[in-house]
Structure 1
Amino acid sequence: MQKRRATIVGFTAILLWSFLAVFTVGSAPMPPLQLNAICFAISGFIGLIWVSRGIGFSALRTVSWKIYAFGTLGLFGYHFLYFSALRLAPPAEAGLIAYLWPLLIVLFSGLLPEEQLKRQHIVGAVLGFTGAAILIGNGASMSVTALPGYALALACAITWSGYSVISRKLGGAPTETVAIFCVLTALFSLIAHFAFETTYWPSEPVTWLSIVALGLGPVGIAFYTWDIGMKKGDIQLLGVTSYAAPVISTCVLVLAGVTQASWPLAVSAALITLGAVIAARTNSRNTDSELTGGDI
């Protein structure tokens, strides 16, 4: 798959994650770990069907257990840390800290031997984070008593950015392995749910529609397309454009009537768009240089 096409495929994950908030609101009041178990069970089931009709399960048996362990820890660890952070700290502040992961992806990508981190990438990432900070942190204030939650949110950001960047090094492992990651994540989430939560089964159809939508999209197909983007696409551009997720998410919430439009949304959208354009222009020049055999 060509790099540009893989980048576009990876961006679909960002679009799907933009619906995470509205579907999560619709899935309330189901406990987060129970919700996690159900959603990943759905996404794992989708993946297993894909595997059975594609490369077959025999191909997955050749994959090292270390890769399965890595992927499962990445998916389960991120969501466990994220939900725990939101329990121990105010959602706005915890969400802002957790959303350091796009910036960390851009910075960590410079450690990869085949990637070159340029000043424009850093500028674009900082602009994007500033836009996300205005959007997510509007009206928020830090609390000392919530420090454990903030620490978990930071660990959450490091976990997902590390998972994403290291996935680049595992380019030889087929994307179909994500199906096993999802199944194992569902299993561990179920175990954690029984250990820490009280089971709740909703009766409202809207709640179940939201849960199924989560499992199909933001906590489902998104992980498969993100894996393709991380392994074969432009990892730095995807890192910068990931800041589009909170903006699109807020727009969706506004359209759904869950929240109201405000000036921070417009300012953050402008900053995030500017950061993405700067990074995109940098990568476009790099591509043109590679095609012509030199600098332009």
Structure 2
Amino acid sequence: MTKRTATFIGFIAVLLWALLALFTVGAREVPALQLNAVCFAIGGTIGVIWTTASKRWHELKNVPLSIYAFGTVGLFGYHFLYFSALKAAPPAEAGLIAYLWPLLIVLFSGLLPGETLRPLHLVGAGLSFVGAALIVAKGASFSGGHMTGYLLASACALTWSSYSVISRRLGSVSSMVVTVYCLATAVLSLLAHLALEETVWPSSQAGWLSMIALGLGPVGAAFYVWDIGVKRGNIQLLGTASYAAPLLSTLVLVGAGIAEPRATLILSAVLITAGAGLAAFASRQTGS
């Protein structure tokens, strides 16, 4: 598999995450951790079917427990911190801070062996962040009274960026390990749900379909293709291109009639596209 192919496969995760808001709105009756448990159980099932069909269970036998623990902490930790941040601080502010993870991926990638971080990578990631902020931070007004939520959101961004970059160092480990990550995260989410939430199931067919769709795509298959992308693809370009997710997500909501179109969408699209273009150019200059 070439680096370009792996990068494209990784970007499929960004496209799937663009559907996260739509399906989450559809399944909004279900408490966050309960939804997490169901979706990761579905995501884990995808891995079980994939691994069985391809007869690749042997690739999981000699994987150290420390790697399984790492992946589980990455997936469960990110989502737990994210949901906690949204409860402790206004969604706009918490969402903006949490969405620093693509920029952190670009920054941290410079610490990886064989990777070259150029100024244009940083400029591109910064432009794309501004573009995403126009959407994510609508109406944001930071207050010292929500410092706990801001810290949780910061930890959230640090967790996912670290997970993605460290995964790059585990390039020799089969992406089938995501199966175990998902199943373990489902169990931890279930335990957290039982301890912190009241169980509520969807009251409509649309709600059930949304929950299943989340598990199949944004909170399922997305993690497998992301693992392939960050391990074998252009991680700087993937990090920058990830800022397309909130833009695409908003466009999907507009298309579904859930959100109103805004003039800032055009400016956001220009900034995100320009940022990704600069990152791609910088990568071509380094031959990565």
**TM-score when normalising by structure 1:** 0.95
Of stretches 185-194 and 128-137 in structure 1, the one that deviates more from structure 2 is 128-137
**What is the aligned partner in structure 2 of residue 240 from structure 1?**
240
Compute the displacement of 1:203 (Å): 2.4
Residue type of the alignment partner of 2:64: S
Contact 2:33 2:193 in 1 (8 A): yes
On the 8 A contact 2:59/2:176 being kept in 1, the answer is no
Q: What count of residue pairs does the alignment treat as equivalent?
A: 288
- Deviation per CA, 1:62-100, whole angstroms, max 9, x where unpaired? 111010000000000000000111111111111000000
Give the Cα–Cα distance (whole angstroms) in 2 for the partners of residues 19 and 145 of structure 1: 32
SS at match of 2:110: helix
Contact 1:138 1:264 (C-alpha < 8 Å) held by counterparts: no
CA-CA distance at 1:150 after TM superposition: 0.8
1:216 aligned residue: 216
Which residue of structure 1 lines up, in the alignment, with residue 282 of structure 2? 282
Residue number in structure 2 paired with 1:132 = 132
Structure 1 residues 221-260: Cα deviation after superposition (integer angstroms, max 9, x where no partner): 0000000000000000000000000100000011111111
By how many angstroms is 1:114 displaced?
1.0
- Secondary structure at the aligned position of 1:24 is classed as helix
The 10-residue stretch of structure 1 (274-283 or 118-127) with the greater mean CA deviation from structure 2: 274-283
**Which residues of 2 match residues 5-154 of structure 1 at below 5 A?**
5-154=5-154
Amino acid at match of 1:87: K
> Hey, what does 1:294 align to over in structure 2?
none
* Residue type at the aligned position of 1:100: L
**Secondary structure at 1:117 match in 2:** coil
Q: 1:153 offset after TM fit, Å? A: 0.5
CA displacement 1:163-201 (0-9 Å, x = unmatched): 000000001110000000000000000000000000011
Equivalent AA in structure 2 for residue 210 of structure 1: S
Aligned partner of 2:162 in structure 1 is 162
Within 2, Cα distance between the matches of 1:206 and 1:181?
A: 28
Take 1:59 and 1:141, find their aligned partners in 2: how far apart are those partners? 48
1:33-85 deviation digits (Å, cap 9, x = unpaired) = 00000000000001011111224323211111010000000000000000111
* One-letter code aligned to 1:280: A
For residues 9-35 of structure 1, give each alpha carbon's deviation from its aligned partner in whole angstroms, at most 9, with x where no partner exists. 000000000110111011011000000
Cα distance, 1:139 vs. partner? 2.0
What's the offset of the Cα at 1:268?
1.2
* Structure 1 unaligned blocks of 5 or more: 291-296
Amino acid at match of 2:95: G
CA distance in 2, matches of 1:93, 1:254: 22
Post-superposition offset of 1:261: 0.8
What 5-or-longer segments of structure 2 have no aligned partner? Answer: none
Partner of 2:179: 179
Identity %: 60
In 1, the alpha carbon distance for the partners of 2:151 and 2:73 equals 18
Deviates more, 1:24-33 or 1:54-63: 54-63
Kindly provide the amino acid, as one letter, of the partner of residue 179 in structure 1. Answer: T
**2:144 partner amino acid:** V
Contact 2:72–2:184 (Cα < 8 Å) also in 1: yes
Whole-Å separation in 2 of the counterparts to 1:242 and 1:29:
28
TM-score relative to the length of structure 2? 0.98
Work out the CA distance in 1 between the residues paired with 2:67 and 2:141. 40
Match of 2:188 in 1: 188
| Counterpart Cα distance in 2 of 1:248 and 1:146 | 29
- Give the Cα separation in 1 of the matches to 2:54 and 2:62: 15
The code of the aligned residue for 2:141 comes to S
